[in-house]
Chains A and B, each alone.
Chain A
Amino acid sequence: MSAEGRDEDAAAAALEADPAADEVERESREHPQSSATGRQYASGREGFFGGMRAVVPFLFGTIPFGLVTGIATKAAGLSAAAAVAMTTMVFAGTAQIASLPLLVSGAPGFVVVLTAFIINLRFVIYSATAAPYFATLPMRWKMVLGYFMTDTGFALFLRRVAGQPEMAFREYYFLGSGMTVATVWLITAAVGVLAGAKVPPEWQLEFAATLGILALLAPFVRSKPDFAAAATGGAVALLASGLPMKLGLVAGAIAGICAGVAAERVFAPRAREAA
């Protein structure tokens, strides 16, 4: 297992794409002892509680996000059972919020699923980056850790193991932070679903899903290539919105990814290779 060279590159690339990394960085600057560096854990229990404690400051982001997701899901017209099932099983707020306008407009199921897949492609980067640290664990551990992979949990974990690549009980640390985020997320989303049911339709809360998507887009647009990806994705999807089955959306997403890669070559040729 190595955390040098290529892996570090991957970690840097992943962190760059990660909105939660921002928060982690701010947090670790303000409380240098809390996450980036730390002591060795003597037991799984200690590691688990260490992860729990480290993630607490980030719950202030999880709580409103859970509420918004719950309210928007209910406002889109899903039954409470379907809304809670979606929140629990998909366990990815960005994809869930993004699926709502598609469901309301009657997009075919495969387009909704494909969209969730594309939005959650960032987890592939996280998963590939974290994999070496969990390589020796038994399969059941890997499955559990995979489910609890979140933006915040990943960014926090990566900060921690970057300073301590051979950290003992790191899987417990990851699980502690992941389960805490998941618990708070599920509770707040359920509260949101209940609250959403009480909101009168005149409030037009369906629009909150669209606003949520725009708000979630913001942290992903930081560099010129990011901007190229978003602008191209949006423009192509808009111009292709006449295509049947909402395929304009898929075309936009693919065109946007290509534009981002192309813009990276234009704006930062070789810079990445040199780093």
Chain B
Amino acid sequence: MNPETNHLHEYGWTLWLIIFGMAAVTILNRAGFILLSGRFSLPPKVQRALKYAPAAALAAIALPDIFTSHGHIDVSLENTRLIAGLFGFSIAVLARSTLPSIIGGMLALHALQHWL
């Protein structure tokens, strides 16, 4: 996520459609079974599969983001976002807390960019 390559402004008003879309699918997930209550239930097998959705999707977003730089896979010390990302993730695992992990990761990013 580099400010020079931020494509956000290209969405224009469709950004609002995207926000409405995200809101709609989220409320559907949240309220769906409560609204249908009694008439339908979710098979245990499906529930078990859905359990893995957050881990799979979050990793699918974050890993390509840190393992590439300038559009190529980059597993080296030069890739400061990879090192800082892994550092932040380790803090999250050890401290079980979001904020220290983000602060630690940001500090690591700046330290690496400064010293490398």
Question: Hey, which bits of chain A sit against chain B, CB under 8 A?
Answer: 6, 9-10, 13-14, 16-17, 22, 61, 64-65, 68, 76-78, 82, 85-86, 89-92, 94-96, 98-106, 109-110, 112-128, 130-132, 134-135, 139, 142-143, 145-147, 149, 201, 203-221, 225-226, 229-238, 241, 248-250, 252-257, 259-261, 264, 272
Nearest B residue to A210 via CB reads: B65
Q: A248 to B64, Cβ gap below 8 A?
A: yes
Chain B residues, CB < 8 A from A217: 54-55, 58-59, 62, 89, 92
Size band of the B side of the interface?
Answer: 35 or more
Q: B9 to A77, Cβ gap below 8 A?
A: yes
Q: A123 to B29, Cβ gap below 8 A?
A: yes
Q: B8 to A103, Cβ gap below 8 A?
A: yes
Q: A117 to B29, Cβ gap below 8 A?
A: yes
**A68 to B101 alpha-carbon distance, docked (Å):** 11
Question: What are 30 pairs between A and B in contact, CB < 8 Å?
Answer: A10-B44, A64-B98, A68-B102, A89-B22, A90-B22, A90-B23, A102-B61, A113-B22, A118-B57, A121-B54, A123-B26, A126-B30, A142-B35, A145-B34, A204-B106, A205-B106, A206-B3, A211-B88, A215-B92, A219-B96, A229-B55, A234-B64, A237-B59, A248-B64, A249-B61, A249-B64, A252-B59, A252-B64, A261-B52, A264-B48
Q: A127 to B63, Cβ gap below 8 A?
A: no
- B30 → A minimal CB distance (Å): 4
**A6 to B43 alpha-carbon distance, docked (Å):** 10
Additional A-B contacts beyond A22-B96, A147-B31, A214-B101 (8; CB < 8 A): A106-B10, A116-B25, A123-B30, A207-B84, A214-B88, A217-B62, A220-B58, A259-B52
Q: A118 to B53, Cβ gap below 8 A?
A: yes
